[in-house]
Amino acid sequence: MMNNFALTPALVRELGYLLNSNRHNGWAERTAEFLGVSPRTVEAWARGERECEGPPALLMAHLARMVVQETYLDISLYEVEKIVERHGRKTSLDLALPEVRRGIRSLIKLHSSIQRVAEDMAVNRSALSRWLSGESALGIDGVSKVLKYLGLNRNEEDEYEGVWRIALDWNSLDQSSQDLQNAIALLYSAPPECLVIQVSDLSGRSTKFKAILLHLKTTVNIEISIPTRLARLDQGLAWFVSAFGGVRSLAIYCPLDVESHITENNASSSSIDA
C-alpha cells in the first residue's frame, strides 16, 4: 500500500491547511517542516507538477489525522530503539556523515553516473550533486528514491543482487580502488567474500574480469575492464589486492597459460629494470 499511496494536489493543500491550524498563510513552509522536505517540493505537489506519493504522502495523511483527532501519544527513546531493533534496517546509515555521502557518491559512480541516477529517479541533478557534497539540497522523498535505487534502504535479510561496472585506466587506479572500498563498506554490514574471475584472455587491448561479492543474501556482480598491458604487470594484481582489501576472503582465478604469461612478463620487466 505504501508505494501506491498518493495524494492529489487538492488533498495536499487541504491537509497542509490542517497542519497549519487551518491558516492558509505559510501552510507550505509549515508542512515542509513536518515532512522534512523543501517548501518548493510541497508547492510543486500542490500545483500538480510533482506527485506526492509513498512515505511523504502517508506521513502527511497520518500527521493530519493526529492533529484533527488529537491522538498524540508519548513515546520514549527506549521504545524507538526497540522498534528499530526489531523492524529497522540492521545497518542504518547516518546520512549527515561526510563519509556516508562519499560512499553513496562512489556507489552511484559504480552504478552509472549522477546524471543517469537523477534521470531514472526523476530528481534534480544539481540538487543530488550538492546533497552528495554535504548540502541540504535534496528533500526526503528524493533521498529515499536514490537510496532505494542503490539498494541501501532495505532490510539486510532481504535478497538483493546488484551490478557495478569499473573501466580501469592508468590514471584511475587509486580513485577506482577508493570508490570500490567506499561502496563495499556502505552496502555490506560485514566484509563479504569475493571471487575474481578472468573472463577474457590477454590478446586484445583490454581484459575483462568479473568479481562476485557475497554476504548473507546480498550479491554484487562487478564487471571490470582493465588494459591488457596493465593486467600483465604487478600493478594490475596490486590493484585487485588494494581495491578488495576490505573483504573477508579473496580468490582470483585465471587460466594457467595467462598465469605463465604474467610471470614471464614480470620477470622480463624486472631484468630490464635491473
Instruction: Tell me the C-alpha distance between 73 and 112, whole Å.
Output: 44
Instruction: Tell me the C-alpha distance between 58 and 259, whole Å.
Output: 58
Instruction: Tell me the C-alpha distance between 88 and 81, whole Å.
Output: 9
Question: Does 140 share its domain with 165?
Answer: no
- Give a yes or no: residue 82 inside a domain: no
* Domain extent at residue 184: 160-273
Q: Provide the pLDDT for residue 82.
A: 72
Kindly report the pTM of this predicted structure.
Answer: 0.63
**Domain containing residue 137: CATH number:** 1.10.260
- Give a yes or no: residue 81 inside a domain: no
DSSP annotation string for 75-138: --HHHHHHHHHHHS-SS---TTSHHHHHHHHHHHHHHS-HHHHHHHHT--HHHHHHHHTT-S-S
Order of strands, sheet of 249-253, starting from the edge strand that comes earlier in the sequence: 160-167, 218-227, 206-215, 193-198, 249-253
Q: Provide the pLDDT for residue 87.
A: 56
- Give a yes or no: residue 139 inside a domain: yes
CA atoms within 13 A on the CB side of 57: 19
**Strands 206-215 vs 218-227: parallel, antiparallel or unpaired:** antiparallel
DSSP annotation string for 3-19: GG-EE-HHHHHHHHHHH
| One pLDDT digit (tens) per residue for the chain, 274 residues | 445 789 999 999 999 998 998 899 999 999 999 898 899 999 999 999 999 988 899 999 988 888 888 776 666 777 767 766 665 554 468 888 999 999 999 999 999 899 999 999 888 999 999 999 998 888 878 888 899 889 888 777 788 999 999 999 999 999 999 999 999 999 998 899 999 999 988 888 999 999 999 998 899 999 999 999 998 888 888 999 999 988 999 999 987 555 555 455 554 443 333 3
Confirm if 58 and 4 have CB atoms less than 8 A apart: no
Instruction: Tell me the C-alpha distance between 36 and 32, whole Å.
Output: 6
Instruction: Tell me the C-alpha distance between 227 and 234, whole Å.
Output: 13
**CA 258, chain centre distance (Å):** 35
Per the structure, the count of domains in the chain is: 3
- Give a yes or no: residue 114 inside a domain: yes
CA distances in angstroms from 248 to 188, 191, 192, 230, 244, listed in the order given = 11, 5, 5, 26, 9
**Domain containing residue 55: CATH number:** 1.10.260.40
Q: Provide the pLDDT for residue 193.
A: 96
Question: Does 170 share its domain with 232?
Answer: yes
Confirm if 224 and 211 have CB atoms less than 8 A apart: yes
DSSP state of 203: S
Residue of 117, 186, 110 lying closest to 149 (CA atoms):
117
Instruction: Tell me the C-alpha distance between 64 and 175, whole Å.
Output: 48
Question: Does 37 share its domain with 96?
Answer: no
Question: Which residues make Cβ contacts (< 8 Å) with residue 57, sequence separation at least 6?
Answer: 5, 6, 7
Q: Is 249 helix (H, G, I), strand (E, B) or coil?
A: strand
